[in-house]
Structure 1
Amino acid sequence: MLRKVETYWPSTGKILLLGAGGITGRYYVQLLLSNGYEVFAYDEKFHPERISSDQKTWQEQIQKKYNNIHFIFDLKNKPEVDGVTLSPGFPLSNEIIQHYQKNNCPVFSELEYTLAQLPNPLVAITGTDGKSTVTALTAHLINHANVGLKAIACGNYGIPLSQLLVERIDRDTVLVCEMSSYMLEKSRNLRPKIAVFLNASADHLNRYSSFQEYVETKRNVLGQSPKNTILITQETLWEDWPNRPSVEKLILVQKKDNTIHSDSFSIAYEENQRCLFFQDKKMVSIKDLPLQGSHNEENILFALEASSHLIGSLGGNIHVPPRQNAKSRQSRFLLSSRTKLKIWCGMAVHPCTARVGGVSANPMGMFSPVFVQALKSFSPLPHRYEVFVQGEDFTAINDSKATTTQAVLAALKSTPLPVVLFLGGRSKGEDYSLLKEKLTDLTKHGSVILAFGESAGEFQKALGSLIHKTFPTFLEALQYAANHFFGNNRSYTWLLSPAATAWDEFSNFAERGDFFKKFVTEMLHQSNFIDKV
């Protein structure tokens, strides 16, 4: 049943769904059908000459269950419908949408439709780089806080929002939702408890008219009721925020010299080691955590702030009867009228003043240990600075998710030299000359830059002689590197950090990353080099 929120769609009738062929689109089709709509599911992937066997099987299964579904692959004859909706990624500028808007047909997004039916606590996370890592880590921290809460990563990373409704997710589950700029273009009923805006650099400029438009779209993550939302963002982003809204609480992540700090946490040097601090208390050395790289230090702070404030925002006081406090040290953490959770001393609570046995208490000692363990048990996401081969003479790093120049620059900060850097794919309209200063320094230290794919010419034009060689395909670039920059009594780090999407040769960045890992692994086995790594 829909929540009592403003809706932007008809309650019954015919719905045209644009972009129905992806994972999100499939669940969205099922959700609309189960809610009684007649659905016209459109995607070019449904063309008889291009449809995959998997797509065909899925369509047959849906048609057996529902008789009010129509799969279409072109819209020359546009159906008469009562509403138009779109999966994330389908551009609002498309002439199909404009046609229906001119005819006063309501247009709404999957995000809007699903949020109206999801009363769950919501953490909304956006940014150019690091979204998926922060989303996964925030959910992991909440799940391991030992306060009885369950969190799930969803949205642009993890489980599609439509799938949560199809599978009837529990109302108390915390939704930690990655939101791309595409999703935020139509987000009229977004009201997160926690909003996280990580960073912004030039991205998707083939979709937006300017960088400013892209950033303005990202700011939609704050939602429609900022006074009830805790905002966590970079200090520089907040400084540039026009007409700064009044929020429930503002938490700024700031960088100064070699220190990164936020509301309750900081990362700085202690005895020549990078360490994580809670207030002034050292929690752990960064080298002991699985998340490595300077870019991940910021990700850790964002996730810690988001998870701890989410726990705190759902709760009230910690009440401990004096007698019980003296014996078992057991306390009760009252989260809501629906949920009562037990918490033991030594477990995580929000870093604010709590009341224990009627007396104010500083929970710092209770907070630290459980989150350190959670940070240590977190598995880094694949294709995001994934060091899958490491040895004295050869290292290989799969950073296929790095589709922006800023992501590449972040990766290079942590990469041992000399590096063989693979750049290429399908351009998103970025200015690749932003890499010039860093790559000039790299080449002075024996590093090699190889460009491949559709964007190879763009890299060559922007970076000139810094590009050692260009290749039509990724495979050709890898084969060349294997023949010239592997072995020969030289030590290299191969880094796939492409600064472009994978769509010229692959279905997605994961497929490209897997291709890279497979090539390197086979190369090592064939050369008997595997014993040295």
Structure 2
Amino acid sequence: MSLLTAQIPEWLETCLDSQVAILGAGKSGIGVKALIEKLGGNPLLYDEGTHVGEERLFDDSSAKAAGLVVCSPGFRHDHVWIERARQNGCRVIPEFDLGASLWQGPLIAVTGTNGKTTLTSFLHEAFSHVGIESFAVGNIGKPLCELLAEDRNLEAIAVCEISSFQSEQIRELKADHVLWTNFDEDHLDRHGSQAAYFKSKYRIVANARKDSLFVDSSVYDYGVGIGLDLPKAAVVTSNHSTGEMGLRGSVFATEPEKSNYLMARALWLSLELDESLLVEAAHLFKKAPHRMQYLGEKGGIRFWDDSKATNFHAVLGGLKRFEKPVVWLGGGESKGGD
């Protein structure tokens, strides 16, 4: 099924009669613009930055002219432009909501403090390995709206990496399966508190099917601790060793990647797919650059690039792999951790 034959939600058809304001002229915003144009709507880009193009500032007259406002992940829920849109009666949704409202196939949501990209990539490649059409979209680099605008098969599986920035305002995203890799302190500059950060991700769970949820114990413990509803049965555990699961020699042979494999395995078995084929895919899988990437050896010292470890939890996970003394080189602003 293509976009041209997909059923457009009634609320979206109504909104397309007016201008569609897109807040943010980055990759997500450009994807939304292409999609709205494909649907026959009238999109206008608004941006606070210095992009060269047609974007403009979102003032009161802009808000009065718009029926729908689609915001990019960089816009906080309390941004003055979003408040202005709501005050003028606009429907405000994030980019992921727009894409999810049009997607016709299964939608797998992958979130977590760390490991999202690796798990998203692996699931996509594992499905491809067994001949199941899927797309890896979202925070991994390709917005869901951009994929829709390309008129791909909307009945394929969408494996969506979703960050807390993308999930904090969702309403239309109703995932068929949710995998929450782990939880630890991060993005407090955006969310204000660890509880608010957790709840921004929990919105994915609250909107999704409850019978296909897979979480790490750190997610369960924190969520239950602040009074949220998470089933104990959703916690992914395994008593099998790396050797017993046939993972020796693969990137999933050690932590933290082993935990990603266990998440993928839990979903895979729930879909009644052949586990031996998942093991085959694991041995073929190569991680994206800058994720514990071996660079070489000089003067008896081995050098590794783990620059995608952008928070305290991720750094600790990487350092635990080494038995010999390690000199860690890092920088940037603190996101918490001690």
Is the shorter-chain TM-score for this pair beyond 0.5, marking a shared fold?
Answer: yes
Aligned residue in 2 for 1:308: 269
- Report the CA distance between 1:186 and its aligned residue: 1.9
By how many angstroms is 1:41 displaced?
0.4
Give me the whole-angstrom Cα distance separating, in 2, the residues matched to 1:159 and 1:210: 29
1:156 aligns with 139
Q: Which residue type is aligned with residue 48 of structure 2?
A: E
Whether 1:41 aligns to 2:20 is no
Matched, 1:380 2:266: no
Larger Cα-atom Rg: 1
C-alpha separation between the residues in 1 aligned to 2:10 and 2:299?
A: 59
1:498 aligns with: none
| CA shift digits 1:451-481 (9 cap, x unpaired) | xxxxxxxxxxxxxxxxxxxxxxxxxxxxxxx
Quick one: structure 1 residues 194 and 300, their matched pair in 2 at CA, closer, same or farther if it must change by over 3 Å?
same
Which residue type is aligned with residue 244 of structure 1? Answer: D
85, 88, 104: which one aligns with 2:89: 104
Percent pairwise identity: 26
Equivalent residues of 2:72, 2:94 under 8 A apart? yes
- 2:78 alignment counterpart: 93
Q: Following the alignment from structure 1 to structure 2, what is the Cα–Cα distance between the partners of residues 285 and 230?
A: 25
Check whether the contact 2:103–2:155 (CA below 8 A) recurs between aligned residues.
no
1:491 corresponds to which residue? none
Matched, 1:244 2:249: no
Q: How far is the alpha carbon of 1:44 from its aligned partner? A: 3.2
1:202 to 185, 202, 205: 185
2:114 is matched with: 129
The residue number in structure 2 matching 1:113 is 98
2:257 to 288, 296, 300: 296
Corresponding letter in the other structure for 2:150: E
Q: Residue 388 of structure 1 aligns to a residue in which SS?
A: strand
AA matched with 1:410: G
Q: Tell me the distance in 2 between the aligned counterparts of 1:90 and 1:222.
A: 22
CA distance in 1, matches of 2:298, 2:11: 57
Q: CA deviation at 1:127?
A: 0.4
Aligned ranges for residues 358-369 of structure 1 at < 5 Å? 367-369=274-276
Question: Does the 8 Å contact 1:32/1:39 carry over to 2?
Answer: yes
Q: How much has 1:267 moved relative to structure 2? A: 4.0
Q: What do residues 412-439 of structure 1 show as CA deviations (whole Å, max 9, x unaligned)?
A: 11135432312212x2x5234x1xxxxx
Query: Which secondary structure state, in structure 1, belongs to the residue aligned with residue 136 of structure 2?
Result: strand
Change (3 A) 1:136 1:113: same
Tell me which residue corresponds to 2:55: 71
Asked if structure 2 preserves the Cα contact closer than 8 Å seen for 1:192 and 1:223, the reply is no
Match of 2:32 in 1: 28
Q: Which of 177, 190, 207 is the matching residue for 1:224?
A: 207
Secondary structure of the structure 1 residue equivalent to 2:174? coil
CA contact (8 A) 2:247 2:279 kept: no
Equivalent residues in 2 for 1:505-520, closer than 5 Å: none
Q: 1:12 to 1:390 in 2, by over 3 A?
A: farther
Matched, 1:284 2:242: no
Give the drift of 1:307: 3.1
Whether the 8 Å CA contact 2:290–2:308 is kept in 1: the answer is yes
Asked whether the 8 Å contact 1:135–1:303 carries over to 2, the reply is no
Of the two structures, which has the highest relative contact order with CA contacts closer than 8 Å and spacing of 6 or more?
2
Which residue is 1:430 aligned to? 335
* Residues in 1 aligned to 2:177 and 2:107: alpha-carbon distance in whole angstroms: 7
CA contact 1:189–1:223 (8 Å) conserved in 2 = no
Gap runs ≥5 in structure 2: 1-5
Hey, what does 2:3 align to over in structure 1?
none
Alignment of 1:338-377 (within 5 A): 349=273, 367-377=274-284
Q: Which residue of 2 aligns with 1:470?
A: none
Q: Does the aligned pair in 1 maintain the 2:236–2:263 contact within 8 Å? A: yes
What RMSD in Å do the two structures reach over aligned CA positions? Answer: 2.5
Partner of 1:14: 19
Contact 1:125 1:178 in 2 (8 A): yes
Does residue 389 in structure 1 map to residue 296 in structure 2? yes
User: Which of 154, 158, 166 is the equivalent residue of 1:171?
Assistant: 154
Which residue of structure 2 lines up, in the alignment, with residue 421 of structure 1?
328
CA contact (8 A) 2:137 2:158 kept: yes
Q: 1:172 to 1:37 in 2, by over 3 A?
A: closer
> How many corresponding residue pairs?
328
- Is the Cα contact below 8 Å between 1:232 and 1:251 reproduced in 2? yes
1:109 Cα shift? Answer: 1.3
Q: Provide the rounded CA distance (Å) in 2 between the counterparts of 1:76 and 1:158.
A: 30
Paired AA for residue 69 in structure 2: V
Q: Which moved more, 1:197-206 or 1:229-238?
A: 229-238
| Aligned amino acid, residue 299 of structure 1 | N
TM-score, reference length from structure 1: 0.57
Structure 1 match to 2:215: 233
Alpha carbons of structure 1 residues 165 and 388: separation in structure 2 relative to 1, 3 Å: same
Given residue 76 of structure 2, which amino acid in structure 1 is its aligned partner?
A: P
Q: Sort the Cα spacing of 1:4 and 1:245 in 2 relative to 1 into closer, same or farther, 3 A.
A: farther
What is aligned with 1:212? 195
- 1:293-325 alpha-carbon deviations (Å, 9 max, x no partner): 42111111112222332x33xxxxxxxxxxxxx
SS at match of 2:307: coil
Task: Name the SS of the counterpart of 1:395 in structure 2.
Answer: strand
Which of 86, 100, 123 is equivalent to 1:138? 123
